[in-house]
Structure 1
């Protein structure tokens, strides 16, 4: 018996292999992004089958299209194709123009505003070399986020065992070393393996390294000491607190930090900025005179003064139009306490322009007032809101605003000032100061000089010339001062809280004339969210999640089924 082969049945269902082949070809081509012979052949074969099927339907007549089953099937086919097409377009757009949403508390998967600005401002190619065997996908994702903001940013993972040439070129000493290459400069940024323990790539260290490698020289920051200021190093014997965290952050950003005792050494020639942080005793007149001369000659000062403290700096600040008030700032709306004002309003200044409504706080602060002075431009930095006032009577049982004695907000807790200077007058002042210093030394000790007078004068003249050359090179045409009525915000316990550290670091960067680099909010460290469980707690949690809760759900479903049966 011969079976008659029915071609009509095959043609009737020809669309099924046609759709399968077409979809398979599109998936292979879009996934691999390689439209080679295989995906093209699949798409063409599927298209031929679909066209053949459509021709068969047209030839067989209208009766086929009038069938109810045909109409229902066609509607289902069109709906399916439309849905697949829409989903494909959505996925294509999502992959091509991805915009991730970071829901973490500190925006850990989003580059900080400072990092974004620094990378955007890269004018020359910069490459990150990671010498490690296995690529960490989290580190790679972080570097890809950097590259999104500037094509001048490049990175490459290198196996130090197989690429000995690059390993020798960068003098790699440890597995996991991360190096930056910027022009002819090379710099170690981080080591990803410490004590045989892998560590993730740090945005803070990488951004600081990028900022540091672009500098032509290392700015030097001096902290005044000898009047009860905070210790620069953390010590167990230190009861007044230290600012070691602030120091380490400055050093990580590429600054050279040194203590300064004006009684012993005077002001060094390489002082880009002098920081006076919370002195508790009055400075000597000679110290005040040296700081005043330094400021008049283009030097920059960061002055952090607590209430009820006479420092001797008042005469310098008055010349700049700054008046200090000994009242204590009270914040009636603060959740931390009335004497801890929360600042979320900032002036329009490079130091604070990126802060928006971010918070910083300053325990036991004093208000600052400014008056108009010729050739001095003052700008508010930290602005107290109308819920704050400066309290005069702290012995009262209830802190309430008294308009006859207190100062109502808004007022300033911090200001930045700029004064234009005349380089010629500056050099003359320097020469006269050096000459007077020379005469004083001759008078005080005329017989102990190891050099003849003419040679000593030449040495003093050379020092003046070197200082003048340095100033001409730096082109300091203005002097800058930042004054804040509080110093505790930079202590170790408060530095990393909210924007406290950013206020300090941005102030130093602006004072050191490094504001060609972006002043913004620095990256934050990841918080440890791990829950440390005992073995008993871990066992209980395992039984609850894998056994007890599923059994309770199954029991509830069984009871419901039994009742409805």
Structure 2
């Protein structure tokens, strides 16, 4: 009976060891659950030794026992060294990417940004467990380049207090923190471009300042307002300054960009002079004019923009083939972006609702002209605006055949000086659910403010997919090389030793 109980206990202890190792590999986030079977297995091992106390003492005093103990110590030390080497190799892993697109490594631009960071940086992943592994795999690329980087996972369903603290509005979101920055950077586009721009933002001493000519829409929370867009700019680490041109003597030179969006009436002469002075002193202008169905009411401002080289006509771009459903062609979808790679991180479609056409006015500046959003070949610029209301919309000899530019810029020394949009309402509150529109305009502001260090990242069209190894797979690889393989070698050596001792 005693022998039977001993065999049962041996079986239970062996099963507990196996269960413990399995839990450590598959559920490392639950240390109590992992350690409980291992602790019970150790207790069971002590009980087994106590049950066979006399035999154990006799074995340890014998020559065979002494040799066995010596070999076990030697194998244990070998196991410790091997485990340490494997652990260092895993923690200090070097990545070789042999793919044509280098999709399993970071771009050279990102590596340069990471190399310049000497302060600790923490990435906090707010995401469901469904996306946690893929996001962490991407962030591991960054951690492999800089050991000052730390990655934490936070379940937004469990830690609602942290969701409120960091003002998380969508999942997944990566929060980037550093002691040198007084506020965190939130990244909602989980891509290399967005994360690296977040690192750039966390390291800069001063956030870029965007200034806007005052309009009621900045305070309007209804569909026609722009409060949602201002929120997006603030969350993207821009500082904002809404300026009443009648109440200031001049536009501050600290403004990286000065914007006039959807003006409903013309500027007074004194206001226009302040805009001219700002531009003449090297400032960057960003304007967005909407078509005016009841006659042009911004003639002075429109003429000044034409003097600078851009013409934003009072017409409407129509595209019956590629446009928002139900718009009768009046909300064209952008078919081609710029050749400066400003908008490389847009996954959805960008559309301009009731947009004017943008063209080059000064032919001498042709080499400095950059189209930023172009409609399809089937589109046209409708010069008779009332046709849109009369439902007699068709192309005639007065119209201009597409493709039509709906946004464009003029450069000076390869830097943007003037950006013109045929409509600014693409980022009105009404279209807040269309995040691609907001990302598009946000990228233009990054470019205009000189915060576009990574706009040159462009991927070639090759049929490859990045290979991400999940946390579970990495744990299996780690524990197999650190624990299971050395134990197998140890068992094999012990068996060989036993065979030789019996000869």
TM-score tier after normalising by the smaller chain length: 0.5 to 0.7
Cα offset, 1:371, TM superposition = 3.3
Matched, 1:365 2:352: no
Assess if the C-alpha contact under 8 Å between 1:190 and 1:206 holds in 2.
Answer: no
Which residue is equivalent to 1:328? 316
In 2, the alpha carbon distance for the partners of 1:498 and 1:383 equals 19
* Runs of 5+ unmatched residues, structure 2: 1-21, 27-73, 80-94, 155-164, 169-173, 459-503
Cα offset, 1:148, TM superposition = 1.9
Matched, 1:241 2:224: yes
Which residue is equivalent to 2:246? 263
- Residue of structure 2 aligned with 1:232, choices 218, 234, 242: 218
Assess if the C-alpha contact under 8 Å between 2:253 and 2:278 holds in 1.
Answer: no
Deviations 1:23-62 (CA, angstroms, capped at 9, x unpaired): xxxxx9xx99xxx959x99xxxxxxxxxxxxxxxxxxxxx
Q: 1:369 to 1:97 in 2, by over 3 A?
A: closer
Assess if the C-alpha contact under 8 Å between 2:344 and 2:455 holds in 1.
Answer: no
In 1, the alpha carbon distance for the partners of 2:442 and 2:457 equals 9
* Residue aligned with 2:318, SS: strand
Q: Which runs of structure 2 are paired with 1:279-428 in the superposition (5 Å)?
A: 279-308=263-292, 309-311=296-298, 312-333=300-321, 334=323, 335-337=325-327, 338-352=329-343, 359-374=349-364, 377-393=368-384, 394=387, 395-402=389-396, 404-420=397-413
Cα offset, 1:121, TM superposition = 3.7
Assess if the C-alpha contact under 8 Å between 2:113 and 2:200 holds in 1.
Answer: no
Assess if the C-alpha contact under 8 Å between 2:338 and 2:372 holds in 1.
Answer: yes
Which residue is equivalent to 2:202? 213
Larger-gyration structure (1/2)? 1
TM-score (normalised: structure 1): 0.50
Cα offset, 1:267, TM superposition = 0.8
Assess if the C-alpha contact under 8 Å between 2:197 and 2:454 holds in 1.
Answer: no
Assess if the C-alpha contact under 8 Å between 2:123 and 2:152 holds in 1.
Answer: yes
Which residue is equivalent to 2:114? 122
Deviations 1:529-552 (CA, angstroms, capped at 9, x unpaired): xxxxxxxxxxxxxxxxxxxxxxxx
Cα offset, 1:210, TM superposition = 2.5
Deviations 1:470-512 (CA, angstroms, capped at 9, x unpaired): xxxxxxx966111010011011222441521122111111111
What is the alpha-carbon root mean square deviation over aligned residues? 4.6
- Residue of structure 1 aligned with 2:420, choices 472, 483, 487: 483
Deviations 1:316-348 (CA, angstroms, capped at 9, x unpaired): 212222122222111111334221111121221
Cα offset, 1:259, TM superposition = 0.6
Cα offset, 1:150, TM superposition = 6.2
- Residue of structure 1 aligned with 2:145, choices 147, 152, 160: 152
Cα offset, 1:515, TM superposition = 2.1
TM-score (normalised: structure 2): 0.56
* Runs of 5+ unmatched residues, structure 1: 1-27, 42-95, 100-109, 160-172, 192-199, 421-476, 522-565
Cα offset, 1:397, TM superposition = 3.2
